[in-house]
């Protein structure tokens, strides 16, 4: 049955490609023109996917929240998140049958190691799983899934036209940019997302498709949901230059908050949930943790956008709705403590959602934590009287700045965080403080963590495609492709006469020495024996082991290419031997071979 389905899918793919090829020939399109048109198509489809995802989440959440009481605690908070995670987990495990969590990281992985090829089921799988997860209370965001969805649309549309890998990479970036633009109504942020997070180089050839895709995604969102911002923000208090020192302090504070966010999610993901090998054990721990947190702190439910809207509008007391602390909503000390607990526990709720089998991203959680951090900072300063002049700090302004600060620190994307915050709130009048807090938070976080939350998983395995061109190409290179095996092998007990015979038939001046078990013993260089190789009186007196030298370093098969190049730099060698895990000789790697392969890969993946 599986074979028949596979054959059918191949036939459909072939038919699609033949149709697309006929269209291209009929319209006489060049590949560059085709990419521009496809960018608009990908942007439109990704925008539609974003609108659909937001509609599904809102519909499910509205149905669920209609049973919730505003003036008291609700036991149903203990049930709804478990139901959502269970449904999403069952769908992924038995229908999708593929790991679709951490969508942005999977897009990065596809770009780095899969030639930007993403499976077709990812076009819809994340939409279904994340809408159920978030609608029933999963404390994650819809942005990671929509990025994965948009990238999948771009990848599969490009595969249908059999486009080159570099063009396919561009369409993946277009889909991701359009997804962000559509979900937030932020076309500039979508473009910057592909540059700072997906790390695609912005060249003359790539700028136009990316911009068109972002604009198309945002336009679709405007058509279906209206020409308004995602979060309404009315700047009722002006920003004075005397507040800049406080903005810098907020940036440092947000940097440490983002460090906490990253450390907590990394610890829970790699230490707590990774040690639970059975899916039911991960589900039980995460679901119980999430449901208890939401019961005690109801604003952790779902994306948490209602709480962001309340704080941006100055209605801080509304965050107590539906909680056990509803009666204390007018007391500032309770507000301060409640806000602190929300920011503190949001990373735990996010990790519990994803770790237990839910599907969602960390865009919304980072915005949420930033919102709480900014409000908490301003309210604490005001409560303690630590402000300059007669007017206290504006909690609304600092809430907005906190959102940009924590997102910049968590994702290591200060430009995207700044423009995203401004675009989705309309807070362009605070552009200068947004710039300051984003840059300061990013710089603070960068001191302690060199990678953002999406890139660190790949960076740990040496599979990250980075902004640096050299590192990008080295990431794409594999040791297997640069190993040379045409060197003549000699053995320690061979005489000098035998060695001369091998030299006469070889075109190389380097000879690996191996024992009877093919274990590498050393190397012989032609320059080292040139003065004795013609002395016939020594032919039978000397054996190879007498002039075998130890190589400056030995490479193990499978070593990442950035480490290989570091070894070459440390040893100043031009050729280094390669062995397997048991020490068996495999071949040699030379700098010249690496440089040739480097140029080929660079040309292959450049988009001008």
Query: Does residue 6 carry a pLDDT above 50?
Result: no
Band of pLDDT at residue 176, cut at 50, 70 and 90: very high
d(CA 213, CA 158): 14
Burial of 242 per CB tally in 10 Å (0-12, 13-18, 19+): exposed
Torsion-angle region of residue 221: left (phi > 0), alpha (psi -120 to 50) or beta?
A: alpha
Q: Residues 308-348: pLDDT tens digits?
A: 988 988 788 788 887 777 766 656 788 899 999 999 999 99
Band of pLDDT at residue 219, cut at 50, 70 and 90: very high
Band of pLDDT at residue 16, cut at 50, 70 and 90: low
Band of pLDDT at residue 461, cut at 50, 70 and 90: low
d(CA 212, CA 471): 29
d(CA 608, CA 164): 13
Q: What is the percent of the chain with per-residue pLDDT over 70, rounded to a whole number?
A: 87
Query: What is the DSSP secondary-structure string of 269-296?
Result: IIIIITT--SHHHHHHHHHHHHHHHHHH
Span 576-581, average pLDDT:
90
Q: Which residue matches tokens 């060197």?
A: 487
Band of pLDDT at residue 3, cut at 50, 70 and 90: very low
d(CA 351, CA 200): 28
Span 281-299, average pLDDT:
93
| First-last CA distance in the chain | 44
Q: What residues does 578 pair with on adjacent strands?
A: 555, 587
Decide: 379 and 399 in contact? Cβ < 8 Å: no
Q: Is 483 helix (H, G, I), strand (E, B) or coil?
A: strand
Span 386-412, average pLDDT:
90
pLDDT at 244: 92
Asked whether the CA dihedral 145, 146, 149, 151 is positive or negative, the reply is: negative
Q: What domains are defined for the chain?
A: 11-225 (1.10.3080.10), 241-464 (1.10.3080.10), 471-605 (3.10.580.10)
Which of the two residues, 153 and 67, has the higher pLDDT score?
Answer: 153
Checking 20-23 for CB contacts under 8 A at 24+ apart, the result is 20/160, 20/161, 21/161, 21/162
The two structure tokens encoding residue 24: 């291209």
pLDDT at 197: 84
Query: Does residue 24 carry a pLDDT above 80?
Result: no
Residues 6+ apart with CB under 8 A from 265: 347, 350, 351, 362, 453
Q: Which residue matches tokens 């995670």?
A: 85
Q: Is 520 helix (H, G, I), strand (E, B) or coil?
A: strand
Q: Residues 76-115: pLDDT tens digits?
A: 889 999 999 999 999 998 998 888 887 788 888 777 666 6
Q: What is the percent of the chain with per-residue pLDDT over 90, rounded to a whole number?
A: 43
Which of the two residues, 600 and 325, has the higher pLDDT score?
Answer: 325
Query: Does residue 388 carry a pLDDT above 70?
Result: yes
Average pLDDT, the chain: 85
d(CA 303, CA 534): 80
pTM of structure: 0.79
Torsion-angle region of residue 538: left (phi > 0), alpha (psi -120 to 50) or beta?
A: alpha
Checking 463-470 for CB contacts under 8 A at 24+ apart, the result is 463/109, 463/112, 463/113, 464/108, 464/112, 465/108, 465/111, 465/112, 465/199, 466/199, 467/199, 467/201, 469/201, 469/602
Q: What is each CA distance from 199 to 192, 400, 413, 468, in whole angstroms?
A: 9, 26, 10, 9
d(CA 303, CA 139): 6
d(CA 246, CA 410): 21
Q: Residues 529-576: pLDDT tens digits?
A: 887 877 888 888 888 888 888 899 999 988 877 788 888 888 888 889
d(CA 402, CA 409): 11
Q: What residues does 587 pair with on adjacent strands?
A: 578
pLDDT at 400: 94
pLDDT at 17: 55
Which of the two residues, 448 and 566, has the higher pLDDT score?
Answer: 448
Asked whether the CA dihedral 258, 263, 264, 270 is positive or negative, the reply is: positive
pLDDT at 448: 93
Burial of 29 per CB tally in 10 Å (0-12, 13-18, 19+): middle
pLDDT at 19: 60
pLDDT at 1: 43
Query: What is the DSSP secondary-structure string of 526-562?
Result: HHHHTTTTT-GGGTTT-BGGGS-B--S--EETT--HH
Of 89, 144, 148, 161, which Cα lies nearest the Cα of 121? 148
Q: What is each CA distance from 331 to 90, 325, 336, 337, 517, in whole angstroms?
A: 43, 11, 9, 10, 79
Query: Does residue 511 carry a pLDDT above 80?
Result: yes
């Amino acid at each position: 049955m599986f074979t028949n389905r596979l054959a059918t899918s191949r036939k459909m793919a072939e038919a699609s490609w033949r149709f697309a090829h006929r269209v291209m020939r009929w319209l006489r399109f060049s590949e560059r023109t085709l990419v521009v048109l496809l960018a608009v198509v990908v942007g439109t489809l990704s925008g539609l996917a974003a609108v659909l995802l937001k509609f599904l989440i809102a519909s499910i959440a509205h149905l669920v929240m209609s049973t919730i009481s505003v003036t008291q605690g609700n036991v149903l908070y203990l049930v709804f998140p478990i139901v959502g995670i269970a449904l999403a987990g069952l769908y992924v495990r038995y229908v999708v049958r593929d790991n679709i969590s951490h969508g942005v990281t999977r897009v990065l992985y596809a770009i780095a190691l899969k030639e930007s090829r993403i499976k077709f089921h990812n076009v819809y799988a994340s939409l279904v799983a994340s809408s159920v997860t978030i609608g029933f209370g999963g404390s994650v965001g819809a942005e990671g899934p929509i990025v994965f969805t948009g990238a999948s649309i771009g990848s599969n549309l490009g595969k249908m036209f059999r486009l080159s890998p570099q063009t396919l990479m561009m369409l993946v970036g277009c889909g991701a940019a359009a997804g962000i633009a559509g979900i937030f109504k932020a076309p500039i942020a979508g473009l910057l997302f592909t540059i700072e997070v997906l790390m695609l180089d912005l060249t003359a050839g790539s700028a136009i498709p990316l911009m068109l895709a972002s604009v198309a995604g945002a336009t679709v969102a405007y058509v279906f949901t209206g020409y308004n911002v995602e979060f309404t923000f009315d700047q009722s208090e002006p920003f004075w230059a005397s507040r800049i020192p406080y903005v810098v302090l907020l940036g440092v504070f947000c940097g440490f908050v983002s460090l906490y966010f990253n450390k907590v999610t990394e610890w829970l993901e790699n230490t707590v949930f990774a040690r639970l090998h059975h899916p039911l054990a991960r589900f039980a721990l995460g679901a119980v943790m999430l449901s208890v947190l939401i019961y005690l702190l109801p604003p952790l439910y779902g994306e948490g956008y209602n709480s962001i809207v309340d704080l941006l509008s100055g209605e801080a007391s509304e965050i107590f709705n539906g909680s056990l602390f509803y009666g204390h909503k007018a007391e500032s000390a309770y507000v301060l403590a409640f806000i602190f607990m929300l920011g503190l526990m949001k990373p735990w709720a996010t990790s519990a959602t994803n770790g237990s089998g839910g599907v969602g991203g960390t865009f919304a959680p980072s915005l949420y934590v930033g919102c709480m951090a900014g409000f908490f900072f301003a309210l604490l300063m005001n409560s303690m009287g630590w402000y300059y002049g007669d007017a206290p700090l504006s909690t609304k302004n600092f809430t907005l700045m906190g959102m940009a600060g924590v997102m910049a620190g968590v994702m290591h994307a200060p430009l995207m965080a700044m423009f995203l915050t401004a675009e989705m709130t309309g807070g362009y009048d605070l552009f200068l403080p947004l710039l300051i807090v984003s840059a300061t938070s990013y710089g603070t976080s960068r001191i302690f963590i060199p990678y953002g939350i999406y890139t660190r998983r790949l960076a740990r395995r040496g599979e990250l495609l980075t902004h640096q061109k050299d590192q990008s190409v080295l990431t794409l290179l594999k040791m297997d492709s640069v190993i040379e095996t045409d060197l003549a092998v000699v053995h320690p007990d061979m005489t000098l006469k035998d060695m001369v015979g091998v030299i006469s038939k070889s075109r190389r001046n380097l000879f690996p020495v191996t024992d009877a078990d093919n274990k590498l013993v050393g190397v012989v260089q032609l320059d080292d024996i040139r003065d004795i190789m013609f002395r016939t009186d020594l032919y039978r007196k000397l054996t190879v082991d007498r002039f075998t030298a130890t190589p400056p370093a030995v490479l193990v098969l499978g070593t990442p290419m950035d480490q290989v190049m570091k070894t070459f730099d440390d040893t100043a060698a031009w050729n280094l031997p390669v062995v397997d895990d048991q020490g068996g000789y495999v071949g040699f790697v030379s700098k010249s071979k690496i440089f040739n392969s480097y140029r080929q890969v660079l040309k292959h993946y450049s988009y001008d």
